[in-house]
Structure 1
Amino acid sequence: MVKRILQTPIMHRMVEHNGVVYLGGIVADDRSQSMGGQTAQICEKIDALLAEAGTDKTRLLTAMLYITDMSQKDAMNQSWTRWIEAGDLPTRATIGVADLGKDILIEIVVSAAV
């Protein structure tokens, strides 16, 4: 069974299937923040969404982080590793992109076991 959660005008924020919840791309609300600040905001949003789906960051399976400036990757990594314990790190890819929208420095997509 497929369960769709939190519909937006263009997608569902989460889709659950066979014990895995897939989160659509998440960006920071306060886009005046630095790469580290935007990453921390996104991680908080991921926490809330995962809780709504009945899971948490300790059950993350994979993450894709899209960033507009690879020179800021260290700041992004610092926020990421403050948020999640080393033993719970999912598989991950960091992908450099040209543009994510006005003042958006990072977008994160994750999947987690429920």
Structure 2
Amino acid sequence: MATITRLRKSRRMSQIVRHGSTIHLAGQIADDCSQAIEGQSQEVFGNIDALLAEIGLTKSSIVFAQMWLSDLADFAGMNSAWEAWVDPEDPPGRATCQVGLARAGARIEILITAAAEG
């Protein structure tokens, strides 16, 4: 049985969960929800970069990204920020849908699954 490691734990959740070689990041949202979609997206991508770096990975390790937008009208703006950030040599699988987000003003939340060696 693979070991489960949880990092950046709180009573509610762990920001990083590793099970074997699979890495799950908790859903990431921007701290500054007053920004337009491009700014919120860039902040979320920075959060993802920081969490992956904490465990020695980069965005090229991302296997799948699940994006939730509070309004699909933000799809083009999010895609613009995504295309500037994503590793063009190793783009992950991805899905995007519209949902009601828990934090007022949040326009995007992203859940990441990544792969690590061993």
TM-score scaled by structure 1? Answer: 0.95
Please give the secondary structure, in 1, of the residue aligned with 2:12: coil
Aligned to 1:97: 99
- Aligned residues with identical type, % of pairs: 34
The equivalent residue for 1:86 is 88
1:33 is the counterpart of 2:32: no
Q: What are the equivalent positions in structure 2 for 1:58-77 lying under 5 Å apart?
A: 58-77=60-79
Aligned residue pair count: 114
Q: For 1:12-51, list aligned pairs within 5 A.
A: 12-51=14-53
| Residue equivalent to 2:13 | 11
**Unaligned residue ranges in structure 1 (runs of 5+):** none
Aligned structure 1 segments of 4 or more residues deviating by more than 3 angstroms: none
CA contact (8 A) 1:100 1:106 kept: no
Instruction: Please say if residues 26 and 111 of structure 2, whose CA atoms lie closer than 8 Å, have aligned partners that are also in contact.
Output: yes
Give how far 1:100 is off.
3.2
Asked whether the equivalents of residues 66 and 106 of structure 1 are also in contact (C-alpha less than 8 Å), the reply is: yes
For structure 2, the 5+ residue unaligned runs are: none
TM-score by length of 2: 0.92
1:100/1:107 contact within 8 Å kept: no
